[in-house]
Amino acid sequence: MSARVLDGKAVAAEMSNALRPQVAALSAAGHTPGLAVVLVGDDPASAVYVRLKSRRAEELGMYHRQITLPATTTEAELLSVVDGLNADPAIDGILVQVPLPAGIDKDRVLDQILPAKDVDGFHPVNTGRLWQRRAAFVPCTPAGVVELLKRTGADLRGKDAVVIGRSNIVGKPMVALLEQLDCTVTLAHSRTRNLAEVVGRADVVIAAVGVLEMVKGAWIKPGAIVIDVGVNKRPDGKLGGDVEYAAAAERASWITPVPGGVGPMTIAMLMTNTVRAASTRA
Ligand code: NDP
């Protein structure tokens, strides 16, 4: 079997096109959706992500504000910036780019963002609401994975899914979302025994580990859907995923490439969440 490719770039572009008229309508009604992105320090990867997010917001006609702070910023100063954005009526969504410099408690800062403006979906209130199946801002990467899964047209009810990686921003919310799709979900991590066997039973495999090609193609159950969240540097400097792509594509029914799979969806979902925040507040 040769897998069909889930083209995240194309799906993200489709979603952006659908958002444009919504942004225009909100603007015409006097409330342009507003996104604030806060970057602290000089992590080069974070700077790239922040630029991509700001650029997409601008392309969609949204109001966007990028706040760049030095690495010497104190936690109190950052909290006060967040307070200002919480109170600012022009801002619907606030994103504080992580990682934050040493000395700043990330959880303390993310907890300070008003849940109604938490378009990254990291606030514990939104986490709790997600698990209770109540309206919530869902973290953008797993929400983007769900959009890609929908594009396969597969009926996932009762299917076995495995999520590899248990971070708060990808793995754990991914489990909640797959449960909502009526999958039977296994959450694997670095202490999981016999990962090859666990993956081999799964109809849906979501890899969110951060180790280049650690999921072997030979582990994949024939016909499985494989979603690769990982972004890793190859020895030649190019990007690669957590899944051994070519070998997995031989067995899977659908597969995401890296780059061009989940990555573009993360930004598309951030824009979707921001427009939703604006609609709620308009
Ligand atoms: P974390 O580092 O927070 O979590 C990694 C997880 O992988 C941990 O739960 C860890 O287990 C698990 N793990 C590590 N090694 C193994 C192993 N050998 N076998 C099984 N599990 C293992 O990562 P993130 O969730 O933040 O990100 C994961 C990947 O996704 C990264 O490559 C990141 O760059 C990428 N990413 C991509 C995004 C996108 O938009 N495309 C967005 C966000 C992340 P344990 O808990 O036991 O330590």
Contact 35, 64 (CB under 8 A): yes
Superfamily covering domain 139-263: NAD(P)-binding Rossmann-like Domain (3.40.50.720)
> pTM for the whole thing?
0.97
Is 97 part of the annotated catalytic residue set?
A: yes
- Domain chopping of the chain, boundaries: 31-117, 139-263
Cα dist from 142 to 59, 236, 275, whole Å: 23, 28, 18
Contact 19, 76 (CB under 8 A): no
Which of 3.30.70.20, 3.40.50.720, 3.40.50.10860, 3.90.1200.10 is the CATH number of 31-117? 3.40.50.10860
Residues (pLDDT < 70) of the chain are 1, 282
pLDDT at residue 247, rounded to an integer: 98
CA of residue 45 to ligand 1 center, whole Å: 16
Q: Do 139-263 and 31-117 have the same topology in CATH?
A: yes
Could you tell which of 107, 169, 189 is best to mutate to test the pocket of ligand 1, judged by most ligand atoms within 8 Å of the CB? 189
pLDDT at residue 143, rounded to an integer: 98
pLDDT at residue 281, rounded to an integer: 78
Cα–Cα–Cα angle for 17, 145, 234, nearest 5°? 105
- Six-digit token string for 119: 């378009």
